[in-house]
Amino acid sequence: MEYALGNLVVHIHWVIAKPALPGWEDIRQTVSGHTFYYIYSGKGVFRCENKDVEVERGTLVYLWPGLSLYMKSSEAYPLRMTMLLFDCASLRRIEENEWSIPEPIERMRMPFLLQLKSEHMGKIGELFREAEREWVPGDFVREARVKSVWYRLVQELHEAAEAGGRQSGEEEITAAVRRFKEKLDTEFAAELRITELAEQTGFSPVYIRRTFAARYGQSPKEYLDQLRNEHAIRRLRFTGESITEIASACGYSDVYQFSKTFKKRNGFSPSEYRRLRRD
């Protein structure tokens, strides 16, 4: 099924480090969940679906539910790796206080074998090490910390998987669109001119808009409008700021524009929305 990274929920079953012992062999015993293996060093052979593949430093192996795996480490260059076993599902908010039923993810958008490029190795390797350090089964606080690592890790792995299938020109536009979105995320309250921001990337505004929409499911303007609205909703519900202060803090030019835009999107004026949500 399709999923958005922001909608994923996870349960971590186990995190374990495989020490670098010459010639060790192992079989994946649990095939009902998802498994990541990250290889820090060494060489070995993984057998999956009757195919042998050689693995080495910087390799990420992803096993979706149902796959069996046989592993063997090299005698001369023993594998050192971390295994992370988990279940995950997609959970969407339908209304403000209503959520969908979690839908299990059958397979993530990642290949069985991902040879990481040097720019991804350091960060991803450190995230696996952090998961190792934090994991204490039965300690709910430590497990929550590992979940936070997992969310960062999955974002990095998806980006690495996408980069693996792109040409250099595609990598440049993807990086430009990511920087463009970060600009919207952090400066949403400023008076932004999307065309000017697009031109600053070095690509044509039309190309940036089209690529942004393909990656994030909406145009830059639609994304900015939604982001400002989400910030406004939270300020109305959880602060005592005036409508004028909220309009300014969320990037609206004046109260009239804020009220008109907010009512069109949410069905209530800002003051009506605040009253209804606090009653």
Task: Read off the pLDDT of residues 126-146 as tens digits, 9 standing for 90 and up.
Answer: 999 999 999 999 999 999 999
pLDDT number for residue 167: 47
Per the CB < 8 A criterion, the answer to whether 101 and 25 are in contact is no
Burial class (CB in 10 A: 0-12, 13-18, 19+), 231: middle
Per the CB < 8 A criterion, the answer to whether 172 and 197 are in contact is no
- Show the low-confidence residues of the chain (pLDDT under 70): 1, 95-97, 164-171, 278-279
Question: CATH 1.10.10.60 region(s) of the chain?
Answer: 172-279
Question: CATH 2.60.120.10 region(s) of the chain?
Answer: 5-164
pLDDT number for residue 87: 95
- The CATH number given to 172-279 is 1.10.10.60
Q: Give residue for tokens 């900015």.
A: 224
pLDDT number for residue 279: 59
CA 240 to chain centre: 33
> Is the pTM value of this prediction over 0.85?
no
Cα–Cα distance for residue pair 253/75, rounded to 1 Å: 67
Strands 43-48 and 70-73 come out as antiparallel
Enter the tokens of residue 85.
């076993």
Per the CB < 8 A criterion, the answer to whether 54 and 115 are in contact is no
pLDDT number for residue 23: 92
Per the CB < 8 A criterion, the answer to whether 20 and 44 are in contact is no
Query: Residue 224, Cβ neighbours under 10 Å: how many?
Result: 20
- The CATH number given to 5-164 is 2.60.120.10
